[in-house]
C-alpha cells in the first residue's frame, strides 16, 4: 500500500468509509487522504466535489497517501454514496436538535468498531469547508459525532476533523498498545539487584564520610533510597548506577 515501506499496516479489515460532501478545495481533500492514511482508513467517497474529480491539487497535500486518492469513489448525491451503507455517522461542529445519538469521536469509534467487527458497513459524513453538513445530510445519518472544542474558537478545518475521528478509530484497533510500548527493552531490576546497589552505595558513602553523624544515618539512607526507588529502575539503570559509583570512587582515589 504505502510504497516501499516494509512495515505491516495494523489493519487489513475494511474500516468505515469517509464521505466528504461538497468539499471545495482539492488541497483539503488531499489533506484528508493523508489524515486517513495515518490512521488506517483507506476508503474515501466524494459527493459533488466543487472542482470535480480527479483534482491534481489534492496530491501534494496527500503527502504520499496516493493509495487513498487512487481509489476515491465519486457520487452525485449523498444518498447514492450511502446506498450500500448500514450505519452512518454525521460529523457536525454545531449542535443540532435531531433526537439522535450524539457521540464524541471517542464514543463513536467504540460504536463503529463494534459494528465493523460485526460486518456492518459504516460511513462517516463530513461537510464542506464553508457550511459543514446541511440538515438533510444529518437527517440521513443514524448518529451524530460532535467534536468538543473551545466554544470561543470551535472552527476545525476539514482535514483536522477527519484526523480526530480517524485517530479515535485507530485507537480501538488491536495492537495499538504494542505500537506505543513494544516490549520494554531493559526489564525492571529485581529487588536483590537494587538492594545490592544500595548496600554498595551506602558502604561507599560511609567511607566517604557522607553518612555522618551515625545517629542520622538511618534517615539519610532512607532519603537516598527513596530518590532511587522513585525512578522505577531497570536492569540497565542499575548497571549504569553501579558504573557511576565505580567512576566516582576512582576519582576519589585519584585525589587521596
Contact region with a second copy (CB under 8 A), list: 75-83, 120-128, 178-186, 216-224: 178-186
Per the CB < 8 A criterion, the answer to whether 133 and 91 are in contact is: yes
Instruction: Give the residue, chosen from 179, 208, 212, 229, that forms a contact with a second copy under the rule CB under 8 A.
Output: 179
186 makes contact with a second copy (CB under 8 A) = yes
Edge-to-edge strand ranges of the sheet holding 44-47: 73-75, 44-47, 17-21, 122-126, 87-92, 143-146, 102-103
Torsion sign over Cα 154, 89, 134, 165: positive
Rounded least distance, CB 177 to a second copy, Å: 8
| Residues in 56-95 that interact with a second copy by CB under 8 A | 63-65, 95
Instruction: Give the residue, chosen from 22, 25, 39, 194, that forms a contact with a second copy under the rule CB under 8 A.
Output: 39
Cα angle value 226/227/230 (rounded, 5°): 80
From residue 140 to residue 169, the character string flagging contacts with a second copy as x (rule: CB under 8 A) and all else as - is: ------xxxxxxxxxxxx--x--xx--x--
Per the CB < 8 A criterion, the answer to whether 189 and 233 are in contact is: yes
- Separation in Å, CA 12 to CA 117, 179, 252: 12, 16, 61
135 makes contact with a second copy (CB under 8 A) = no
**In the complex, which residues of this chain contact a second copy (CB under 8 A)?**
1-2, 5, 7-11, 35, 37-40, 63-65, 95, 97, 99, 102, 104, 106, 146-157, 160, 163-164, 167, 170-171, 176, 179-182, 185-186, 234, 236-237
Amino acid at each position: 500500500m504505502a510504497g516501499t515501506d516494509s512495515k505491516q499496516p495494523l489493519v487489513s479489515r475494511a474500516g468505515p468509509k469517509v464521505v466528504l460532501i461538497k468539499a471545495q478545495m482539492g488541497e483539503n481533500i488531499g489533506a484528508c487522504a493523508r489524515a486517513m492514511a495515518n490512521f488506517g482508513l483507506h476508503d474515501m467517497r466524494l459527493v459533488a466535489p466543487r472542482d470535480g474529480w480527479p483534482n491534481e491539487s489534492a496530491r501534494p497535500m496527500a503527502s504520499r497517501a496516493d493509495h487513498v486518492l487512487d481509489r476515491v469513489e465519486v457520487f452525485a448525491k449523498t444518498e447514492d454514496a450511502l446506498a450500500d451503507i448500514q450505519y452512518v455517522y454525521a460529523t457536525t461542529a454545531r449542535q443540532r436538535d435531531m433526537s439522535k445519538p450524539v457521540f464524541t469521536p471517542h464514543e463513536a469509534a467504540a460504536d463503529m468498531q463494534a459494528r465493523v467487527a460485526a460486518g456492518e458497513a459504516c460511513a462517516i459524513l463530513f461537510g464542506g469547508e464553508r457550511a459543514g453538513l446541511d440538515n438533510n445530510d444529518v437527517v440521513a445519518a443514524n448518529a451524530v459525532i460532535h467534536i468538543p472544542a473551545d466554544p470561543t474558537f470551535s472552527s476545525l478545518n476539514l482535514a483536522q476533523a477527519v484526523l480526530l475521528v480517524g485517530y479515535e478509530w485507530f485507537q480501538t484497533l488491536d495492537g495499538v498498545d504494542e505500537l506505543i510500548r513494544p516490549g520494554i527493552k531493559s526489564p525492571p531490576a529485581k529487588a536483590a539487584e537494587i538492594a545490592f546497589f544500595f548496600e554498595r552505595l551506602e558502604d561507599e558513602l560511609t567511607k566517604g564520610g557522607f553518612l555522618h553523624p551515625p545517629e542520622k544515618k538511618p534517615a539519610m539512607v532512607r532519603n537516598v533510597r527513596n530518590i532511587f526507588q522513585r525512578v522505577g529502575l531497570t536492569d540497565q539503570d542499575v548497571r549504569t548506577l553501579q558504573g557511576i559509583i565505580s567512576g566516582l570512587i576512582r576519582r576519589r582515589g585519584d585525589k587521596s
